[in-house]
Amino acid sequence: MSATPVWKKFMRIDVALLILACLLALVNRRLGLEMVDPMRGVMVFAILALGLNIVTGFTGLLHLGMAAFMAIGAYAFAISSCDIYPFQLGFWWGILFTAIVGAFAGVLLGAPTLGLRGDYLAIVTLGFGEITQDVLKNMDVITKGTQGINPLPAPYVPWWSDGGLIIFEFASDQELPWYWLFLGFVVVAVVVCRNLERSRTGRSWLAVREDQLAAQCMGMAPVPVKMIAFATGAALAAVAGGLWASMYSSTGEPGNYDFQISILALCIVIVGGMGSINGVLVGSIAMIGIANIALPKIAGAMQNAGWIVSGSVFGSPNNWKYLVFGLVLVLMMRFRPDGLLPAKLSLVSAKKKNQVESTP
Amino acid sequence: MNLATQGFLGEYFLGMTMAQATLVENVAMGWGHVLSQQLITGVSNGMIIALIAIGYTMVYGIIELINFAHGDLCTLGSFLALTLVGALGMEAWAGLGGTAAVVTLLISAALFCAVLNWSIDRVAYRPLRGKPKLALLVSAIGCSFILINIALFWGGLPMEVFGGGKAAAAPKDFPSLISNENLLGAHSAITVTWRDLFVVMVTIPLMIGLTWLVKSTRLGKAMRAVAQNPTAAALMGIDVNRVIGSTFLIGGALGGFASVIYALYNNTISFQMGYRTGMDAFTAAVLGGIGSLPGAVVGGIVIGLVRALSDGYIEARWTNSVVFAILILTLVFRPSGILGAKLREKV
């Protein structure tokens, strides 16, 4: 086996995507691409999907309530940092607090339920997502009900301005600082996920996914292992929620964090390839690209061409989202269950060997 | 008086005379009457939930799939019914014509849903047999989303009953083809309408028919065999795919009946209703013991009652959470349900 040349180590999809993202920021205004704004959404959802990837991809637990953790994150961030509450931690401490609350919520959901079998666990997470929305909506004394909490503080960083070091606070109309900040968060999340995957914890996740019985025989306790996965995934989702809320300076109404968001995250992971970090990155570009960039463009073009009337059902790009997500799920499961960039050890193909599972 | 006026709307429309009268009447009626009224509403809604729950439980019993798309299948059934009402001008059919209209709707929606359910199985689920169960579940969620979107587009039809193509996402009014008149007399404290009777008169024969089909026919025997052990059933010469297909046909037909009954009873349908109704029905199936037909019926009625009581005594805005809490608690503490046999995890 020959040693890998140094340059080959950098021929990686994630590095390539990072370089592309940096280039995009530099050429965006010059070429009039208007891609920076939608890319921020891509990056927030990439963080959310990285969280789901830990739960569903690495540990093999189908999770249908990721949006709930995003909502919990958004509201935790809002309550810890908004002026109308006594805490006012500011952006960075607020995000840290958000991650902790997210992890705690993950443990809270996981503790009683992680012993359940796969499909039941999926339904429980779905129910948790619905209850979270209802609670946020109905506890209006704290959460302001459907109005959402606002305004929220913007991030601040020390910056070298002419004359000296200043504290630079982001304004909501400046797109680029947010872009770089979110890119930084994605890079950190990817590095964390990669290291976790190779760690003792990560290997036990894969072990539990591949064969829980064998893992148990090796002395692993599956419930704590799954619990760590749940907590980590929830923390990442909560951070995504906090960033999202901070960007809009509002949590928005609780109904925004609905089942469709959870399924969008699931689509990202499935399109990319369950358990593949590069896959999640590509998947989020593909899915959010379709949902938030391509669909509006197509709808606009079709209206200009006179194929659809602007007021009709077909005119609004939002009305196509369910169809797109649904088709993605059905077609991927049918024709490419391992995703576009399959992980080396994938959930579906590994289970294929275990035909015992499906027969009694 | 239906579910809505008692709980949610009753509180918010205090200023309106009708609701005020209802409220005063409620107080005058005393808690005993209010309770019995809620029980009646609860049982009627519970019967509808039970019919849908049977669709979940049958499919789960035979291929261990939570058929996510089942609730949305029922949505499409209601949309078909509303389309027929508009196209055939059924609102004008009087007397015996009214009965004919209801029967037409029931039969066409049942046929439609049965065929659609069978096709979904053929296209989306059958190629995944033998793959891991989670792949099947993901595919079912995908089908559910596709059906929701079809219902959304369907709601934009340029027909009078659909609001003339405006606001496709808005809830649609379903004309009341069945009289809402109180059978106990206009001044009776408790209201029992033709609708309540209609629900019971349709669902009970359907359930008896289904029990007969599963217990006493060749097909039913084959279904039970496949549910117990598909490999052994196949070795005994049973065409497993055909039996599973028939299960989807039957479950779909019951869902179709339920969709029309739901629309006639509640008088409003929307493209997203399948998600909520579906979750109610799934909760009912789990509560009763998934895979068990009597369990689905019992569970459905229990969930119907819980919804009515929660609307009346807690608050309508918490009702969905109450149902989901029941679902989670059942799954965590008694996954085999009330009537289910002790389940053994198949390894």
In chain B, the N- to C-terminal Cα span, in Å, equals: 50
Report the gap between the CA of B247 and the closest CA in chain A (Å). Answer: 19
Angle at B31 between CA B29 and CA B35, to 5 degrees: 105
Mean pLDDT of B212-223: 92
Report the distance separating Cα A320 and Cα B336, nearest Å.
Answer: 38
Kindly state the DSSP code that residue A153 receives in the 8-state scheme: P
pLDDT at residue A30 tops 80: no
- Answer with the residue of higher pLDDT: B103 or B165: B103
Record: contact A319-B230, CB cut-off 8 A = no
Report the gap between the CA of A12 and the closest CA in chain B (Å). Answer: 29
Torsion angles phi and psi, residue A150, rounded to 5: -160, 165
* Cβ-based contacts of B142 with chain A (< 8 Å): 325-331, 333
Question: By C-alpha distance, which of A237, A116, A281 is closest to B335?
Answer: A116
Whether the CB-CB separation of A269 and A283 falls below 8 Å is answered with yes
* Cβ-based contacts of B331 with chain A (< 8 Å): 113, 116, 120, 123-124
Report the gap between the CA of A326 and the closest CA in chain B (Å). Answer: 4
Report the distance separating Cα A255 and Cα B208, nearest Å.
Answer: 41
pLDDT at residue B208 tops 70: yes
> Which residues have CB under 8 Å from A18's CB, separation 6+?
A183, A187
Record: contact B321-A137, CB cut-off 8 A = no
SS3 content of chain B, % helix, strand, coil (to 5): 75, 0, 25
Report the distance separating Cα A268 and Cα A275, nearest Å.
Answer: 11
Record: contact B168-A313, CB cut-off 8 A = yes
Kindly state the DSSP code that residue A307 receives in the 8-state scheme: S
Interface size A-B, in CB pairs within 8 Å, comes to 153
Mean pLDDT of B21-28: 52
Instruction: Tell whether B115 is within 8 A of chain A (Cβ).
Output: no
Which one-letter amino acid corresponds to residue A73? Answer: G
The partner residues of B269 in beta bridges, in order of sequence, read B172
Question: By C-alpha distance, which of A77, A19, A9 is closest to A44?
Answer: A77
Question: By C-alpha distance, which of A57, A212, A56 is closest to A121?
Answer: A56
DSSP E strand boundaries for B153-203: 172-173
Kindly state the DSSP code that residue A317 receives in the 8-state scheme: G
Which residue is associated with the tokens 């929220």? Answer: A152
Q: How many helices (H) and strands (E) does chain B have?
A: 13, 2
Q: Give pLDDT, residue B248.
A: 94
pLDDT at residue B14 tops 70: no
Record: contact B128-A329, CB cut-off 8 A = no
DSSP reduced 3-state for B258: helix
pLDDT at residue A245 tops 60: yes
Which of A216, A309, A333 should be substituted to probe chain B, the one whose Cβ sees the most B Cβ atoms within 10 Å?
Answer: A333
The string of DSSP codes covering A215-247 is HHHTT--HHHHHHHHHHHHHHHHHHHHHHHHHH
Which residue is associated with the tokens 């029922």? Answer: B74
Q: Count other C-beta atoms under 10 Å from residue B297's C-beta.
A: 26
Q: Count other C-beta atoms under 10 Å from residue A163's C-beta.
A: 6
Q: Report chain B's C-alpha Rg in angstroms.
A: 20
Poorest-pLDDT segment among A60-64, A305-309, B254-258, B295-299: A305-309
Which of A56, A63, A125, A131 should be substituted to probe chain B, the one whose Cβ sees the most B Cβ atoms within 10 Å?
Answer: A131
Question: By C-alpha distance, which of B330, B223, B316 is closest to B285?
Answer: B330
Domains in chain B, please, with CATH? Answer: 3-8+44-333 (1.10.3470)
The string of DSSP codes covering B28-43 is HHHHHHHHHHHHHHHH
Minimal Cβ distance to A330: which of B143, B150, B347: B143
Whether the CB-CB separation of A272 and A337 falls below 8 Å is answered with no
Determine which helix (DSSP H) or strand (DSSP E) holds B268, and give its type and residue range: strand B268-269
> Which residues have CB under 8 Å from B136's CB, separation 6+?
A333, B63, B65, B125, B128
Cα distances from B246 to residues A113, A330, B305, in angstroms, run 34, 22, 31
pTM value is 0.86
Poorest-pLDDT segment among A139-153, A236-250, B5-19: B5-19
Say how many residues make up chain A: 360
Q: Give pLDDT, residue A3.
A: 66
Half-sphere exposure of A118 (CA within 13 A, CB side): 23
Whether the CB-CB separation of A80 and A98 falls below 8 Å is answered with yes
- What CATH architecture applies to the domain A10-350? Orthogonal Bundle (1.10)
B33-44 in b/e form (b: 16+ CB < 10 A) is: bbeebbbbbbbb
What tokens were used for A260?
A: 């469709």
Question: By C-alpha distance, which of B60, B59, B3, B53 is closest to B301?
Answer: B53
Which one-letter amino acid corresponds to residue B47? Answer: M
Whether the CB-CB separation of B137 and A56 falls below 8 Å is answered with no
> Per-residue pLDDT tens for A277-327?
899 999 999 999 888 888 888 888 888 887 777 667 777 888 888 999 999
- Answer with the residue of higher pLDDT: B129 or B26: B129
SS3 content of chain A, % helix, strand, coil (to 5): 70, 5, 25
Q: Count other C-beta atoms under 10 Å from residue A306's C-beta.
A: 8
Poorest-pLDDT segment among A125-134, A156-165, A260-269, B117-126: A156-165
pLDDT at residue A159 tops 90: no
What tokens were used for A342?
A: 């399959």
Minimal Cβ distance to B152: which of A128, A322, A347: A322
